[in-house]
């Protein structure tokens, strides 16, 4: 039994829900002035694995390009490391990376602008630079494999 002038709690909740829905419908109408919201930015926090690390194309204007030319500077990948941490070459020289490990590797500039393809055991991939400078690089599959190009 209810007292005169008393509204049951369930009726109050239903009234609030209807009011919210009515206001939402009004603000989404033709005269709405709210600005559209931007899609959220998603940031990857995991390192790539051999199955999700596709070869990428160099970014236009990057300092190097992959090439099929034979290497004049040789670097091996063995024991999940590059044979040298510092690769010295001149502009136009071809730097060839040969993988001696059973797992795939890449040689990728840290800024991502240039990379070899994924290199399986025994495969070779080469890069050639068109601008002098110091360029840190790594293996996209094993980010702890690092080195630096010194291009003169």
What pLDDT was estimated at residue 9?
52
Residue 103 in domain: yes
Residue 142 in domain: yes
Report pLDDT digits (tens) over 2-31: 555 555 555 554 444 444 444 444 444 444
Residue 53 in domain: no
What pLDDT was estimated at residue 20?
43
What pLDDT was estimated at residue 62?
82
Query: What does pTM read for this prediction?
Result: 0.61
Residue 93 in domain: yes
Residue 130: name the closest of 41, 64, 56 by CA: 64
CATH of the domain at 101: 2.60.40.420
Q: Which structural domain, as residue segments, surrounds residue 131? A: 67-151
Residue 4 in domain: no
Q: Which residues have CB under 8 Å from 76's CB, separation 6+? A: 82, 83, 97, 98, 99, 100
Mean pLDDT of 128-140: 97
What pLDDT was estimated at residue 64?
95
Q: Reply yes or no on whether the pLDDT at 149 is more than 60.
A: yes
Residue 19 in domain: no
Domain count, the chain: 1
Q: Reply yes or no on whether the pLDDT at 43 is more than 70.
A: no
Residue 86: name the closest of 144, 136, 125 by CA: 136
Report pLDDT digits (tens) over 56-115: 444 445 899 999 999 999 999 999 999 999 999 999 999 999 999 999 999 999 999 999
C-alpha radius of gyration, the chain, whole number: 29
Q: Which residues have CB under 8 Å from 121's CB, separation 6+? A: 99, 100, 101, 102, 103
In angstroms, the CA 66 to CA 103 distance is: 21
Mean pLDDT of 111-122: 96
Residue 30 in domain: no
Residue 92 in domain: yes
């Amino acid at each position: 039994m209810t007292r005169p002038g008393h509204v049951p709690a369930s009726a109050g909740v239903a009234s609030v829900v209807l009011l919210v829905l009515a206001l939402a419908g009004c603000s989404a109408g033709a005269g709405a002035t709210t600005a559209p919201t931007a899609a959220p930015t998603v940031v990857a926090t995991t390192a790539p694995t051999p199955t999700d690390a596709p070869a990428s194309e160099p970014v236009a204007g990057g300092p190097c390009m992959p090439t099929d030319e034979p290497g004049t500077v040789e670097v091996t990948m063995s024991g999940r490391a590059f044979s040298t941490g510092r690769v010295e070459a001149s502009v136009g020289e071809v730097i060839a990376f040969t993988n001696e490990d059973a797992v795939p590797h890449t040689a990728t500039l840290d800024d991502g602008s240039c990379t070899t393809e994924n290199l399986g055991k025994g495969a070779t991939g080469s890069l050639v630079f068109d601008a002098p400078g110091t360029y840190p690089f790594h293996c996209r599959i094993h980010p702890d494999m690092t080195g630096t190009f010194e291009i003169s």
